[in-house]
């Protein structure tokens, strides 16, 4: 740990740069957080995380507040978080996280995308074991020393720490210590830009550029689906 590294989201996340997709994704996360633990961010860590990520992607405050009000209403959709696993062409592992109010529709669409792209939708557990679930924090480097910070955070579930290409510090913590790490950063008054749960492949697959394009075509189709929140892969 302590090394400088580039945190790659790969081209599978390129569509997240599109504002509409980002806002939809965060809107669902807000709905799930509010339904689970209420509308007060002071007592709802998941909602606080939504606020952070909404700000990072430029989601206006009034849209965040509107999403919270909708989630408090009786007629709002109840989203169910479901994960699907499978293999893209050339044996690349895919893990798809969704938030849906219609699981029948979602699984049918995900299966269709796999089938049409030459991949195969797997059973639960067929791929998840190849990914390590971690909490990831991007924090502002306001003169922080990465090595010193590593020593300070080691007791809060720190897995790895480094810098991205923009000079921000990336902190990864074990999944079970996500809340513990979030609280530690808050208490140390370290400015957090984004905070999210992510999945990092433990092993990667290397393909030719042509073969990789087959994989990214499937990922692109999945990411365009309205029920899909995140897509992870193990393509190098």
- Please state the rounded mean pLDDT for residues 39-63: 93
- pTM recorded for the entire structure: 0.85
CA atoms within 13 A on the CB side of 191: 9
Which sign, positive or negative, has the C-alpha torsion 218, 219, 223, 229?
A: positive
Per-residue pLDDT at 9 = 46
96/143 Cα distance (integer angstroms):
37
Tens-digit pLDDT profile for residues 11-31? 444 444 567 888 999 999 999
- Please state the rounded mean pLDDT for residues 59-84: 91
pLDDT at position 8 over 70: no
- Please state the rounded mean pLDDT for residues 163-173: 93
What is the token pair recorded at 120?
């195969």
Per-residue pLDDT at 10 = 45
pLDDT at position 168 over 70: yes
pLDDT at position 74 over 80: no
Spatial CB neighbours of 55, under 8 Å, sequence gap ≥ 6: none
Find the farthest-apart pair of alpha carbons in the chain and give their distance in angstroms, rounded: 51
What is the token pair recorded at 181?
């790490």
Tens-digit pLDDT profile for residues 108-152? 999 999 999 999 999 999 999 999 999 999 999 999 999 999 999
Number of C-beta neighbours around residue 119 at 10 A: 22
Residue carrying the six token digits 């810098």: 163
Least confident of 50-54, 70-74, 89-93, 220-224: 70-74
Mean pLDDT taken over the chain: 91
What residues pair up with 5 in beta bridges, in sequence order? none
Per-residue pLDDT at 17 = 53
Contact 200, 134 (CB under 8 A): yes
pLDDT at position 235 over 90: yes
Number of C-beta neighbours around residue 17 at 10 A: 9
Q: Which among 80, 76, 5, 51 is positioned nearest to 193, based on CA atoms?
A: 51
pLDDT at position 154 over 70: yes
Per-residue pLDDT at 21 = 83
- Burial of 134 from C-beta contacts in 10 A (0-12 / 13-18 / 19+): buried
Tens-digit pLDDT profile for residues 79-114? 999 999 999 999 999 999 999 999 999 999 999 999
Q: Which helix (H) or strand (E) holds 90?
A: none
């Amino acid at each position: 740990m302590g090394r400088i590294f580039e945190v790659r989201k790969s081209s599978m996340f390129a569509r997240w740069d599109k504002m509409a997709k980002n806002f939809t994704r965060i809107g669902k996360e807000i709905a799930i957080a509010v339904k689970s633990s209420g509308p007060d961010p002071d007592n709802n860590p998941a909602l606080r995380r939504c606020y952070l990520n909404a700000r990072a992607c430029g989601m206006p405050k009034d849209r965040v507040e509107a999403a919270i009000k909708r989630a408090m209403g009786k007629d709002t959709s109840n989203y169910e978080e479901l994960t699907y696993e499978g293999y893209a062409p050339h044996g690349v592992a895919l893990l798809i996280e969704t938030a849906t109010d219609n699981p029948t529709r979602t699984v049918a669409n995900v299966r269709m995308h796999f089938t049409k792209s030459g991949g195969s939708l797997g059973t639960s557990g067929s791929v998840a074991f190849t990914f390590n679930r971690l909490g990831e924090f991007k924090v502002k480097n306001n003169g922080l020393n990465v090595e010193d910070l590593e020593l300070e955070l080691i007791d809060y579930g720190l897995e790895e720490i480094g810098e991205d290409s923009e000079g921000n510090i990336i902190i990864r913590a074990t999944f079970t210590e996500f809340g513990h790490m979030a609280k530690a950063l808050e208490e140390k008054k370290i400015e957090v830009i984004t905070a999210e749960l992510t999945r990092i492949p433990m092993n990667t697959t290397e393909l030719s550029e042509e073969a990789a394009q087959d994989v990214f075509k499937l990922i692109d189709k999945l990411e365009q689906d309205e029920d899909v929140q995140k897509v992870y892969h193990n393509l190098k």
